[in-house]
Structure 1
Amino acid sequence: MSTGQQESTGTQPVIGRQAAGAAAAAVVMRPGVTLMATCLGLFLGQVDTTAINLALPAIRHDLAGDLGSMQWVVDAYNVTFAALLLTGGTLGDRFGRRRLFRCGVTVFVLGSLLCAVAGDLPLLLGGRVLQGMGSGMMLPQSLAILATAFPGRRERNRAMAAWSIVAGTGLAAGPTLGGLVVQTLGWSFIFWVNIPLGLAALLLTFRHVPESRNPQARTLDLPGQLLAAVTLGTLTFLAVDGHHLGWTSATTLGCAALCAAGLAGFLWAERRHPSPMLPLSLLRRGQLPVASIVAMCMTFGMYGLFMLISLAFQQERGTSALMAGVEMLPLPVVFTLLSPTVGRLVTRHGPRLPMTAGMTLMGSGLLIYALAGPDADLAVTELAFVVVGIGLALNTGPVVGVAVSAVAPEYAGLASGIANLSRMFGATLGVAVQGTVLAVVGRGASHGPQFVSGLRAAILVGCAVEFLGALVAFWGVARVRTR
């Protein structure tokens, strides 16, 4: 459930004597308000990853972009967010979780302001990068802050449950909220509304969020961080723009070489760094790599679906952004209703059953929509969304639980960060790869038979990846119950 705090979850966060004295003078401990502040920041970061999808047709029209540009509007945020997840946790452990949370909220608000006033694509993409940076600093601190504010086990578990529901609901409800805002106010207000909410979260931290840090915090792994960003960025560039440039062009081949060199350099650096950002030993065996693969497959199909559905509803069916968001509403509603009950299912049967069933249902929902097509009866489309929502609810919590339970308690935060990094990596590739399949098979058409053919092919790719995740969960997740 965490987004990257390093070696903090599972151990009591440490507050230094001077920091504790200052905190006592400046902070009024109201755990409920602390939970509100962290969940508000969390909601902003999560909902922004999916709400943007309903604005893509309007952005494409106003800023004269093509499909590749729209993929970058989504993935500029995802790439930056994913690249900073693990380092963000380390920075919080070393310099203070509340301080990094504030910095993250501030950067996110500045990025939202830049996106809101953007009159061209480069400025919009720059704002999206800033938003991703803010989320990469903000979200890894949230669970560590809650561990300080809720020292009792029962209260902490309740706070973590609220955190999980807010995180999942933000992701699932993003398209519906985005459609409402785009239709009633315009696409720029997707970013304007972030500003007062972000400022409210920031103000609450000054009075009701305690400072904490880890005196045994890991050292920063700058080489690993830079090489990870280069690898992820060039890989996304290849997936999005490779077919435009030509797979054998000098630019494409050069980026492929840079991506391969970045990956090789990252693996070399992580083996030799005394405190690596991503300890490779954790990924060689056990349940953590299984959970990471399943998490990546889950978001590959889900994020790709959100982008493709937005284009299908508005460009092919002529649906307004508001109605498109309303028609997607069954997915977040089902997810929100079922998520609190999944824990009891895991307690009784272990994580293998819900994860396998969840991935199978997500793939089945995508298959239903791909076979029916964007012009199908609305009831069939809604059925596909319900099936995807059930599968998402069954898998979201258990996949992180498996990752955390696979390592020693002092590595729980890191394992959770790795699982969430895999989720964002899958989201980035899902948008890039499925958008490219749509462009290639659909031959660049924005509507009509060619667009429908490209849409079906793209969703079938996501469907195949979901079913692959189901197989990995079935064969790889241990047949035991996890706490």
Structure 2
Amino acid sequence: MTPRRPIHNALALAAVCLTSLMFGLEISSVPTVLSTLETVLHADFRQLQWIMNAYTLACTTVLMATGALADRFGRKRVYAISIVAFAITSLLCGVAHSAAVLIASRFLQGLAGGAMLICQVAVLSHQFQEPGARSKAFGAWGIVFGIGLGFGPIVGGLIVAVASWQWVFLVHAWIALVALGLAHAGVQASRDPSAQRLDVPGILTMSVATFGLVFFITQGPDLGLRSPASLGIVAATLASFAAFVVIEKRSAGPMFDFSVLRIRPFSGALFGSMGMNFSYWPFMIYLPIYFQGALGYSSVAAGSALLAYTLPTLVVPPYAERLALRIGARRVIPLGLFIIGVGFVLMKFGAGASHASWLTMLPGCVLCGIGLGMTNTPVTNTATGAVSPDRAGMASGIDMSARLISLAINIALMGFLLLQGVLAALARTLPGVAPHARLRSLAEQIAAGSFDRLTTNNASLAAADPHGALVHAALVHGFEIVMLYGVLGAWALALCSALAFGPAVRARRPVGALKTCASASSSSSQ
């Protein structure tokens, strides 16, 4: 090795950390500007959902494919292409003039972001061969990723306050230029000559199944849940998923090897991955709407209040690792999900308080963050440590796919429940104010946190609710239903995780193996 090798490693790590920061910010900063997008782009509630969901769905689509492409055509080359693509698609998002264009641009940005995420892992794994250096590199990567997720809400709020919503996206184009230069100077070129071919049928069938389910949840009520169109979507979704299972079971080199599900630690960790994204992460999309719509906070204040929800996820993971070493990941992961559920219970009570504020929401927000921090690192470490080293890449891909698919589905489900809760409250407290179709439109505006034009566009509503108290109560009621769903989801997956792990088997497995599953480095924490 040349004397410049440490410099190359430092530059490569800086590039990876910058791109992980971009990916994290793009997930957590956008929710705080949704209310602005609703006003500026005249986006309805479903379009706001798709602005978030298009990104996560697209990420899921390319996760497995990118790993195979990077192995075959070169990790540095594919990484550089993904950075350039992320910069270009971020520019497209920033110049979008309508909600439809922004949704399409977000989908393209998600494709680039998912590819960039997988390449980060591949680059670090090859660049840092020595175990100690690799542990430190992955640790830095995880910390920076967590900073992007944790501080994204306030960053998004500040950008809107001092500039405009466009810069929430445009800023990534400039960061990407710096990251590209660092990657060019520091990342080593590498590839795997024995890389397997791309599993195109598996990728396509899983993508169609996930997209179909999300589309049915978001658009089904408008189409009619029993309409031919809705039933056709359900049939296509089920057929695609069945085809995916058949394809993967028959494939000689499947991207999803179902045999790993028989490994109890892996299955237990996988339920943990799903549990986090069943409740905690999708609710972060809607929590800013509560702070802004129900509590009347500005985007900056909402972002600041959201820090109580996200910052514990940065502080707790080191302690979670120590706890996993002491009592085992099989106990820590279900416990973390249970704590998330308790946090949702406290948030539900805080939202229903007579003088609700960020203070009444604070205990629940903090507890949710603590539960997420306890679960996240042990989940990733256990999933990758439970399989043989040659299958660790596939295990990591399944873990990440489970997270993003669960996130996309539950963004849609939480939005559906929020809307239905608001609609039910309006129908109960404001009978005869408007026909059902008009009442549904009002519910969508309320669920999006848009109160400004409600009474001016509806005289009967203004007469029935001159002070907006009933409208406010309807929004709170909708959020209480979503929080209850978060409780049930977190606790149900905690139970599934505990059952999948099963009892400790000390006689059949060396103690060292248990420690290995629980304590791989915090590098993979995101």
**Cα distance per residue 1:364-398 (max 9 Å; x no partner):** 11111112217524322121111111111111100
Match of 1:369 among 337, 347, 352: 347
Give the conservation status (yes or no) of the 8 Å contact 1:360–1:467. yes
Structure 1 residue 215 displacement after superposition: 1.9
Structure 1 residue 118 displacement after superposition: 0.4
Match of 1:386 among 339, 343, 366: 366
1:183 and 2:185 matched: no
Match of 2:498 among 462, 465, 474: 474
Match of 1:403 in 2: 383
Give the conservation status (yes or no) of the 8 Å contact 1:296–1:426. yes
Give the conservation status (yes or no) of the 8 Å contact 2:267–2:500. no
Give the conservation status (yes or no) of the 8 Å contact 1:351–1:477. no
Runs (4+) off by over 6 Å:
none
Pairing 1:17-166 to 2, within 5 Å after superposition: 29-166=7-144
Match of 1:12 in 2: none
1:360 and 2:360 matched: no
Please give the alpha-carbon distance, in whole angstroms, between the structure 2 residues aligned to 1:417 and 1:205: 23
Please give the alpha-carbon distance, in whole angstroms, between the structure 2 residues aligned to 1:403 and 1:477: 12
**Cα distance per residue 1:123-177 (max 9 Å; x no partner):** 1011101111111211112122112322211111111111222223322332222
Q: Which amino acid aligns with 2:12?
A: T
Q: Which amino acid aligns with 2:487?
A: C
Match of 1:296 in 2: 274
Please give the alpha-carbon distance, in whole angstroms, between the structure 2 residues aligned to 1:461 and 1:88: 34
Please give the alpha-carbon distance, in whole angstroms, between the structure 2 residues aligned to 1:173 and 1:299: 19
Match of 2:478 in 1: 454
Match of 1:329 among 283, 287, 307: 307
Structure 1 residue 91 displacement after superposition: 1.1
Give the conservation status (yes or no) of the 8 Å contact 1:342–1:393. yes
Match of 1:274 in 2: 252
Please state whether the residue corresponding to 1:328 is helix, strand or coil: helix
Please give the alpha-carbon distance, in whole angstroms, between the structure 2 residues aligned to 1:102 and 1:289: 34
Please give the alpha-carbon distance, in whole angstroms, between the structure 2 residues aligned to 1:139 and 1:391: 24
Give the conservation status (yes or no) of the 8 Å contact 1:27–1:207. no
- Give the TM-score of the pair, scaled to structure 2: 0.84
Match of 1:429 in 2: 409
Please give the alpha-carbon distance, in whole angstroms, between the structure 1 residues aligned to 2:18 and 2:110: 16
Please give the alpha-carbon distance, in whole angstroms, between the structure 2 residues aligned to 1:456 and 1:310: 15
Please give the alpha-carbon distance, in whole angstroms, between the structure 1 residues aligned to 2:45 and 2:241: 28
Moved more, 281-290 or 47-56: 281-290
Structure 1 residue 280 displacement after superposition: 2.1
Please give the alpha-carbon distance, in whole angstroms, between the structure 2 residues aligned to 1:378 and 1:112: 32
Structure 1 residue 114 displacement after superposition: 0.6
1:419 and 2:417 matched: no
Structure 1 residue 358 displacement after superposition: 1.2
Give the conservation status (yes or no) of the 8 Å contact 1:178–1:190. yes
Give the conservation status (yes or no) of the 8 Å contact 2:10–2:186. no
Point out the structure with max Rg over C-alpha: 2
Match of 2:454 in 1: none
Please give the alpha-carbon distance, in whole angstroms, between the structure 2 residues aligned to 1:377 and 1:324: 11
Give the conservation status (yes or no) of the 8 Å contact 1:297–1:469. yes
Give the conservation status (yes or no) of the 8 Å contact 2:295–2:356. no
Distance 1:435 1:174, change over 3 A: same
Please state whether the residue corresponding to 1:456 is helix, strand or coil: helix
Match of 2:429 in 1: none
Q: Whose relative contact order is higher, 1 or 2, with alpha carbons under 8 Å and at least 6 apart?
A: 1
Match of 1:306 in 2: 284
Match of 2:418 in 1: 438
Please state whether the residue corresponding to 2:320 is helix, strand or coil: helix
Moved more, 269-278 or 449-458: 269-278
Match of 1:463 in 2: 487
Pairing 1:162-241 to 2, within 5 Å after superposition: 162-241=140-219
**Cα distance per residue 1:192-243 (max 9 Å; x no partner):** 1111111111111111111111222121011111111111111110111112
Structure 1 residue 285 displacement after superposition: 4.4
Q: Which amino acid aligns with 1:145?
A: V
Moved more, 40-49 or 255-264: 40-49
Please give the alpha-carbon distance, in whole angstroms, between the structure 2 residues aligned to 1:133 and 1:323: 31
Q: Which amino acid aligns with 1:373?
A: A
Q: Which amino acid aligns with 2:264?
A: G
Match of 2:467 in 1: none
Give the conservation status (yes or no) of the 8 Å contact 2:268–2:500. yes
Please give the alpha-carbon distance, in whole angstroms, between the structure 2 residues aligned to 1:27 and 1:344: 33
Please give the alpha-carbon distance, in whole angstroms, between the structure 2 residues aligned to 1:396 and 1:349: 16
Using the aligned pairs only, state the percent identity. Answer: 30
Match of 1:9 in 2: none
Please give the alpha-carbon distance, in whole angstroms, between the structure 1 residues aligned to 2:123 and 2:213: 34
- Give the TM-score of the pair, scaled to structure 1: 0.91
Structure 1 residue 113 displacement after superposition: 0.5
Please state whether the residue corresponding to 1:331 is helix, strand or coil: helix
Please state whether the residue corresponding to 2:14 is helix, strand or coil: helix
Please give the alpha-carbon distance, in whole angstroms, between the structure 1 residues aligned to 2:338 and 2:128: 36
Give the conservation status (yes or no) of the 8 Å contact 2:71–2:195. yes
Q: Which amino acid aligns with 2:272?
A: V
Please state whether the residue corresponding to 1:186 is helix, strand or coil: coil
Q: Give the root-mean-square deviation of aligned CA atoms.
A: 2.0
Question: Any stretches of 5+ residues in structure 2 without a counterpart?
Answer: 424-442, 448-470, 505-513, 520-526
Give the conservation status (yes or no) of the 8 Å contact 1:41–1:201. yes
Structure 1 residue 104 displacement after superposition: 1.1
Please give the alpha-carbon distance, in whole angstroms, between the structure 2 residues aligned to 1:402 and 1:86: 20
Give the conservation status (yes or no) of the 8 Å contact 2:275–2:490. yes
Question: Any stretches of 5+ residues in structure 1 without a counterpart?
Answer: 1-19
